[in-house]
Amino acid sequence: MFKILCVTNRKLCVGNFTDRISELHKNDVTVILREKDLSEDDYTILADKIIRVCPDIILHTHIWAAERLGTDRIHIPMSMSDKYIMKKFNVTGVSVHSADEAVKAEIMGADYITAGHVFETDCKKGLAPRGTGYLKKMSKSVNIPVYGIGGITPDNIEIIRKSGASGACIMSGFMQCENVEKYLIKLNRDAIL
């Protein structure tokens, strides 16, 4: 089953951020609360608020916040990966940038990986995208789900599906759309059912 995830950026969000997360949750979209610009304390305050509308949210990077709030899901960069951290959580995702990193993350106990950036994206301005060949290689190198990330839109998501990836992570589209359900239809709703 091809899965669609949302990686947040509240600065891009049209309307109320908490309402947007609630709408994503109601439409069964897995949400990774990224918010890289926040301090650990500010992130914890935001995460505490968001967990109330999306209890299964995946926190990003802030392990202390996840432990303090009692959540069992975390997403971390490869640089933070170790078996000790991964054993603390029921679901651990890792951002990787090579097949070697993907294999290492799987060996350490990652439950899934995100691999990118696949297409051009404003988040990585000036950096060349890695493309779908890279994503295919990543998907073949491990036995855990691989989610493509970076520049994925309704216009190119079919390419991600055909790459062998388990799914796609989307930021801007979910943060800026007028209606999550209608946006999911554009992405091909039966991909998430």
The residues assigned a catalytic role are 117
Gap between the terminal Cα atoms of the chain:
8
Cis peptide bond upstream of 117, omega within 30:
yes
> What are the distances in angstroms from CA 118 to CA 11, 81, 131, 161?
22, 22, 5, 12
CA 93 – CA 81 distance, rounded (Å) = 9
